Amino acid sequence: MSEGGGGSPVRERPSQGIALIEDITSPTSCPGVDTPEGRIGPLLIGQGCQTYYVEVPAGSYAVEEVHPRGAIVYTAKGNWVLCSGGARHLMRPGSLFMYEDGTPVGVEVPFDESAFLLTFRDTRSIESDVQFFTALHKFNERQEKTGGKARRLKDLPEDHPAVVFGRYVISTGKAVPEG
């Protein structure tokens, strides 16, 4: 039996207590909402947890913003730069990081390919996919009213730390500058 279609991911339920998604990167299997930070969509909502994806487009820059609730983030596809407290670190497919409640996190993608991130939360703040999408649409409305916080790296000055670090990782392939 499967559920989904329309505004929900296609989830298989092969047995009692099991839910799975065959391909989390498929826009048809896992719909999402375009936001200033990228395309975001729900994946699984468990009894005391939830996970969703964020597909951050190539060339994106999202300024550091304090996140009230912590999470664990896994890089499923693409390279990107994590920024927190002004420190930058190159994240690659297979990398994993966590941030605690109240931690500032910024996302930069100075590469030609988008990054596909999975976010895991240890608390369940939504009850349904409809509620998740409603929250995303409200987020988009707030961003439109305030001018949003996401940008494109190409719109930043050449000496901006995100642009400088992006040039460095692209030219050297190294995660952290030496010295």
What pLDDT digit, counting tens, does each position of 123-164 carry? 777 778 888 888 888 877 877 776 666 589 999 999 999 999
| Between 6 and 25, the higher pLDDT residue | 25
- Residue 8 is assigned to a structural domain of this protein: no
Question: What's the CA gap between 66 and 165, in Å, rounded?
Answer: 21
Domain with 77 in it: 32-172
User: What's the rounded Cα separation, in Å, for the pair 110 and 116?
Assistant: 14
Note whether residue 24 is domain-resident. Answer: no
Per-residue pLDDT at 3 exceeds 50: no
How does residue 174 score in pLDDT terms, banded at 50, 70 and 90?
Answer: confident
Output the pLDDT for position 177: 63
pLDDT at 127: 77
Number of alpha carbons in the 13 Å side-chain half-sphere of residue 31 = 13
Residue 166 has pLDDT above 90, yes or no: yes
Mean per-residue pLDDT, 70-83: 96
Q: pLDDT by residue (tens digit) across 10-19?
A: 888 999 989 8
Is 178 within a domain? no
Asked if the model's pLDDT at residue 175 lies above 80, the reply is: no
In a domain, residue 19? The reply is: no
Mean pLDDT rounded to a whole number for the chain: 87
Q: Residue 146 falls within a domain, yes or no? A: yes
Q: What is the CATH number of the domain that holds 37?
A: 2.60.120.10
Q: How far is CA 69 from CA 24, 27, 30, 61, 121, in A?
A: 23, 27, 24, 21, 8
Q: What angle do CA 61, 148, 115 make, to 5 degrees?
A: 30
On whether residue 22 sits in a domain, the answer given is no
Total length of the chain: 179
- At residue 168, what is the residue type? Y
Domain count, the chain: 1
Tell me, yes or no, whether 4 lies in a domain.
no
pLDDT tops 50 at residue 1:
no
pLDDT given for residue 99 in this prediction: 95
Tell me the two tokens of residue 30.
Answer: 């896992």
Question: Among residues of the chain, what percentage have pLDDT more than 90?
Answer: 47
Q: Identify any residues that bridge with 66 across adjacent strands, giving them in sequence order.
A: 104
Is 61 among the domain residues? yes
